[in-house]
Structure 1
Amino acid sequence: MEARGLWLSISGCLFMAALGFGFAHWTGSAAIFLDGVFSLVSFVMSLIMLIVSKLIRRSADRRFPFGYASFEPAFNVLQSMVIVGVMLMALSSAVAALYQGGRTLDAGRATIYAAIASTGCLAVYLVLRRIAKQTGSSLIEVDSFAWMMDGVLSGVVLIAFTLVWQFGDALGDWLPFVDSWMVIAMVILMLPVPIRILYRNLLEVLLAAPPIGVQRTIRRAFRDAMHDIPGRDWSLSITKTGRSIYLHARILIDEDRYAASIEQADVWRELITERMAEFVAEQEFDVVFTTDATYIG
């Protein structure tokens, strides 16, 4: 299901890139050219995403003893950085065009492009959103959000080009600057999205703790899982990488159980792991029993 969604995104990006570059050449619009560049970047990144989606399913091995889950946020960081770079280049080009007298464009043809683009992007978004809910894939979730943003912005461009097409004469000498200002507005509106994705996924690459809401849910579940385990204190370290959560629990056992056997400790560990199965797989959950209180802090 996830692979089908990725192939849909790849095909859609290739089509939208060809459509964007064709209409950009036909109309002379930098805003449409920017849309085409975004689609081309998305096409290349979607191809890489297809490889990443296969990698993260691999089991741990000697080269990556903790598995391949970190490839997912690492890819999202790369994708966000590329998008931010493209947007900043488009912004500098638009500002330069303002100082050079603006650009002329064919608003009628540009309106046709925006109508096709907005409809196509929103259709792909609806399909990917459904796949993301069914699979729980953050790759598809991020990709579907990008398609939604592209569709909404294409809709805004459609409205703007329609107004220019119908009332362009009223703009007079301002008409050549409309396209550049549209590019600037698109960049300002879109820039916070890849920056937010970049920040969130960079934290995961750096093994930071997940959002506080996730931590509270897991700690509450762990506290419940400990209800009949002879531990007088415990601490829990939590990290999230892609769709995998890693827990490291340190349990200070009761003094009267200091002589417990290793077999008994294994029973307790298996019991806790079974109770926490909703959040982590066994290889993502380490449980350490200790008699040293300083190890808990």
Structure 2
Amino acid sequence: MSSKIQQERGLLLLSTISSFSFAVIGIVLGSIVGSLVIVFDGAYSLVSLALTMLSLGAAHYIHKPEVDKTTPQFAMIEPAVIAIKGSVIAVMCLWSFYSAVEAILSGGRDINAGVALAFGMVSVTGCYATYRYIKLKSENIESALADAEAKQWIMDTVISVAVLAGFFIAKLLMMTQYAGYAVYADPTMVVLASVYFIIVPVKMVWLSVHELLEIHGQPMAHVMSK
């Protein structure tokens, strides 16, 4: 097995372990403190885990020696996987947006800002460290799958920053005459994060579909003109 293949699998495995860890912590802690945005963070990590498993499966198949690497079907594997990843993330963003708006309309969420702040700091540090490591290593081996993982982790990092910022704002509001508005900080952060995040997966899907059409012999411009 070549060094490039080993490194790619290693990065995907690292992403899998990290996603699982953050998913469990986020969902459990978010449920305990009653935070929608922490649950969202954990749910995103859980989705990332499933998508990373998909990438691992694709990477394993791609590097099988008996696989014919000259066929169009083979060339379509990576962009197809990335398109699926982007689509799933986009759907999750839409679902999160809906849930957050519903929470705002129902009076917001009362949360334990102190515990949430601690989680936010740990999450930001962990997610960014994972992103930087995978990003740097993926550039060295020129792996599209590993690069897609890095994009997932930068999104997770931004989610974590949103979590941290939201709870910091909530904590400040609790110390002022506007304490009643603190309950809206949590779902508002989810709304903002969802709107921001939808851009990345849409781009992933667009570029992947473009590549798939090119492989299939149908340029995007031709398809759009129909």
Q: Is TM-score (shorter-chain normalized) higher than 0.5?
A: yes
Contact 2:90 2:198 in 1 (8 A): yes
Q: Within 5 A, what are the aligned runs for 1:3-22?
A: 3-22=9-28
CA 46–93 in structure 1, closer or farther in 2 if over 3 Å, else same: same
* Structure whose alpha-carbon radius of gyration is higher: 1
More strand by share: 1
- Residue 114 (structure 1) aligned to one of 110, 120, 126: 120
CA distance in 2 between partners of 1:152 and 1:84 (Å): 15
Alignment-derived partner of residue 204 in structure 1 = 211
Gaps of 5+ in 2: 1-6, 220-226
CA distance in 1 between partners of 2:85 and 2:73 (Å): 21
- Residue 150 (structure 2) aligned to one of 137, 144, 149: 144
CA distance in 1 between partners of 2:173 and 2:185 (Å): 12
CA distance in 2 between partners of 1:163 and 1:61 (Å): 55
Deviations 1:12-56 (A, max 9, x none): 000000110121012101011111111000001111110101222
Shift of 1:151: 1.4
- Residue 158 (structure 1) aligned to one of 153, 164, 170: 164
Amino acid in the other structure paired with 2:53:
L
Shift of 1:208: 6.2
Contact 1:56 1:69 in 2 (8 A): no
Alignment-derived partner of residue 104 in structure 1 = 110
Identity of aligned residues (%): 27
CA distance in 2 between partners of 1:165 and 1:34 (Å): 20
The count of residues paired between Structure 1 and Structure 2 equals 211
Amino acid in the other structure paired with 1:173:
G
Amino acid in the other structure paired with 2:18:
G
Shift of 1:67: 5.2
Contact 1:56 1:67 in 2 (8 A): no
CA distance in 1 between partners of 2:158 and 2:105 (Å): 29
1:69 corresponds to 2:75? yes
Contact 2:104 2:184 in 1 (8 A): yes
What's the TM-score once normalised by structure 1's chain length? Answer: 0.66
Q: Name the SS for the 1:105 alignment partner.
A: coil
Shift of 1:57: 2.7
Cα RMSD (Å): 2.2
Amino acid in the other structure paired with 1:19:
I
Gaps of 5+ in 1: 210-236, 240-297
Structure 1 segments of 4+ aligned residues over 3 angstroms from their partners: 58-62, 64-67
Alignment-derived partner of residue 181 in structure 1 = 188
More helix by share: 2
